[in-house]
Structures are given as structure tokens and as C-alpha cells.
Amino acid sequence: MRVLIDHISKVYIDRQGEATEALRDIHFDIGENEFVVVVGPSGCGKSTLLNIIAGLLSSTSGQVIFEGIRTDSRPYTAVVFQDFALFPWRTVLRNVVYGPEELGLKKAEQLEIAKKYITMVGLQGFENKYPHQLSGGMKQRVSIARALANDPLLLLMDEPFSALDAQTRTLMQYELSRIWEETQKSFLYITHHIQEAVFLGDRVVVLSKRPGRILDVVHIDLPRPRGEHLTMEKRYLEYVEAIWDYIKNQAKESSEEAR
């Protein structure tokens, strides 16, 4: 399975008829079992792009093509949002089982799938807890398990760790890298955090300031599995610096235009 983001552009028209160009001619692909990360300045259209790929928003031009997919009932995508978006009236188990329920699977199969992903994200023993009884990191683990339980072709993640404290965020990066290796699914991850992008990604798509355009697609040639030691390696730091240069230059351009 390959996902082609085929020359996507997006223009918003407000009630006064004024146009705001959010994305311009975005073109890249996501390979099978690949972890692709999108970074860029604030307001560059990263979340807009994710919502278009998820089918939650229409593009002005261009299209998203899922190549080589099977004709089964699996959803093309599932989304992990930054605000957890859990059902507060459902337990961990009942949140994770929601997708299989909606797909109409048998009860035994629903529970088997839910328990598999609850274990994968390290929440075994918390199946009967409610969201208000969980920490932020645990809530996001539930969100990841719930998305994976749908067995999507592509998992989309929209700055999922932005609400977490720095320590929890770092730990969740390690966990997500491990989960990706276990599932071997295709992931598209949106972030403004450059170190996170380099740590997680096989490729990093760097967007410009609005309207978002692709400045570069950086191939991250770092070994897996990835752990804490990686962040001290020279090659990792070189990737971070190269991407940071793009972001700095965009900020400089914005500052000059504002004068």
C-alpha cells in the first residue's frame, strides 16, 4: 500500500469572500510500513493537510490516492488528535473497543483486538479505568490503542504529544517508536518539534510558512530501534540542525515581510 498526496492545494474563503491560501501544491508519498513526519512553522497548514488526508476536509485542488489497497472493510485512516478525544463515559476497554464495535465484529473478536492493543501500549490492568482516572500520557496511549484497533491502512497523528509535559513527551516518543516497529503500519505524524521529527521519522517533510509549500523532504538515515542514545549521535544532531535552518529562515522571511 502506498499513499500519494498528489499536488494538494487548499484555499479558505471567509464570509466576506476573502481568500486565505493554506497549502500550495503539496506532493509526496507515504510508503508501506513507513513513518513520515511533517514539520513546519506555526500556521503553515500541517493540520489542514492531515485533515485532507483523513477525509475530514476537502482540498481545493489535487487528491489523495491510496494505491494497492485491498477491497475489505478496513478504514483507510484513523486519527490520533492532540486533545485525546476519548469518550469520558467509557472505560479504557470500552474506548478501545469502539472501532471494532462500529465495524460490526463479533463480541469475542472485539475484545481480543482491544486487549491486544491495550497490552501493546502498556495499559494492561487499567482496562476498567475511566479517562478522568488517567494521566495525560496514559490518555494518549488509549487514543493510540483505539486508533490501531480500527486496523487502518494509515495512522494519522496530529501533534499528539503537544499537551504533555516534557518528560512524558520524551517517554511517549520512545513508546511510539516501539509501537510503530511492532505494528509495521504506515504512519503520518504532524509536529512542530524538530527533535521529535528526526527521532521518529524515516522521512521528514519540511513545510514553508503559509501558504505551506514543501521546502525539502529529508531522508533520516538512522538505525532502529531508536532509543535515548540516538539523541547524542552526531548524525542525529546534523539532521536537527539542517531542518532548524529551514525553520529559522522562514521566521526571518516572515519578520522581514512584517516590517
Domain membership of residue 116 (yes or no) is: yes
For residue 128 the three cell numbers come to 476498567
Same domain, 146 and 159: no
Same domain, 203 and 106: no
pLDDT at 74: 62
Same domain, 109 and 201: no
Q: Out of 152, 170, 197, pick the residue that ends a domain.
A: 152
pLDDT at 70: 62
CATH code for the domain in which residue 221 is found: 3.40.50.300
Domain that holds residue 119: 70-75+88-152
pLDDT at 50: 96
Total domains present in the chain:
2
Same domain, 34 and 95: no
pLDDT at 3: 95
Whole-number Å distance between alpha carbons of 141 and 172? 8
Domain membership of residue 81 (yes or no) is: no
- The DSSP secondary-structure symbol of 257 reads H
| Strand 186-190 versus strand 154-158 pairing type | parallel
Domain membership of residue 165 (yes or no) is: yes
For residue 146, the tally of other CB atoms under 10 A from its CB is 28
pTM, two decimals, is 0.93
Whole-number Å distance between alpha carbons of 173 and 157? 12
From first to last of the 259 residues of the chain, give the pLDDT tens digit: 899 999 999 999 989 889 999 999 999 999 999 999 999 998 999 999 999 999 999 999 999 999 887 655 567 899 998 888 899 999 999 999 999 999 889 999 999 999 999 999 999 999 999 999 999 999 999 999 999 999 999 999 999 999 899 999 999 999 999 999 999 899 999 999 999 999 999 999 999 999 999 999 999 999 999 988 999 999 999 999 999 999 998 877 776 776 6
Same domain, 97 and 65: no
Angle at 84 between CA 79 and CA 90, to 5 degrees: 105
Whole-number Å distance between alpha carbons of 176 and 155? 12
Same domain, 164 and 138: no
- The DSSP secondary-structure symbol of 13 reads E
Domain membership of residue 83 (yes or no) is: no
Which residues neighbour 46 within 8 Å (Cβ) at sequence distance 6 or greater?
38, 39, 40, 158, 159, 190, 192, 207, 212
> Going edge to edge, which strands form the sheet with 186-190?
77-80, 154-158, 186-190, 35-39, 203-207, 214-219
Domain membership of residue 251 (yes or no) is: yes
Q: Out of 136, 152, 168, pick the residue that ends a domain.
A: 152
Same domain, 242 and 198: yes
Cα distances (Å, whole numbers) of residue 133 to 81, 84, 89, 129, 237 = 19, 14, 12, 6, 38
For residue 228 the three cell numbers come to 535515548
Same domain, 65 and 176: yes
Domain membership of residue 82 (yes or no) is: no
Are the CB atoms for 242 and 200 separated by under 8 Å?
A: no
Whole-number Å distance between alpha carbons of 60 and 128? 44
pLDDT at 108: 96
Same domain, 62 and 115: no
Same domain, 65 and 167: yes
Domain membership of residue 80 (yes or no) is: no
Please report where in the chains the cell 475489505 appears, as a residue. Answer: 72
Q: Out of 132, 152, 172, pick the residue that ends a domain.
A: 152
Whole-number Å distance between alpha carbons of 149 and 59? 28
Domain membership of residue 97 (yes or no) is: yes
State which amino acid sits at residue 96.
V
For residue 221 the three cell numbers come to 538515515
| Strand 2-13 versus strand 35-39 pairing type | unpaired
Same domain, 188 and 63: yes
Whole-number Å distance between alpha carbons of 164 and 214? 28
Same domain, 115 and 42: no
pLDDT at 194: 96
Q: How big, in percent rounded to 5, are the helix, strand and coil portions of the chain?
A: 40, 25, 35
